[in-house]
Amino acid sequence: MAGLLSKFQHLRGEHDQHVVAYSALAIGTDRLFVKTALELDIPVEVVIPCSHYEEIYDSPEVREEYHSLLARCQQVHGLPFQECSEMPTLLLVIG
């Protein structure tokens, strides 16, 4: 993952392009992707799929990491869903 992001960073410099990483900060590779992007000074924007999204994280440690990464991102975009159970509708919207 670091290699891929480094390649984007290199291309950004060669072509004077702006690179931004997008994520929902899901547990696993999503968070690894965000951590790697931040380490490489690639700005990250978060897309929060529903207003109660953080409630799906039942572990205090996982929720703490979520808030820590969220605070380091340059912008947060919230989708207009209240409950994450509306996600099938979300998939149709972004389809």
- Is residue 88 over pLDDT 70? no
Q: 6 falls in which pLDDT band (50, 70, 90)? A: confident
Indicate the domain borders of the chain.
2-94
What is the per-residue pLDDT for 95? 40
More confident residue, 14 or 39: 39
Domain at 2-94, CATH class: alpha beta
Please report the pLDDT score of residue 87 as a whole number: 57
Quote the pLDDT of residue 67.
95
Average pLDDT, the chain: 82
- Using DSSP bridges, classify how beta strands 21-23 and 75-78 pair: parallel, antiparallel or unpaired: unpaired
Would the pLDDT of 80 be above 50?
A: yes
Q: How confident is the model at residue 53 (pLDDT cuts 50, 70, 90)?
A: confident
Query: Alpha helices, DSSP H only, in the chain?
Result: 2-15, 29-39, 60-72, 87-94
Q: What is the pTM of this model?
A: 0.75
Interior angle at CA 63, CA 58 and CA 65, nearest 5: 145
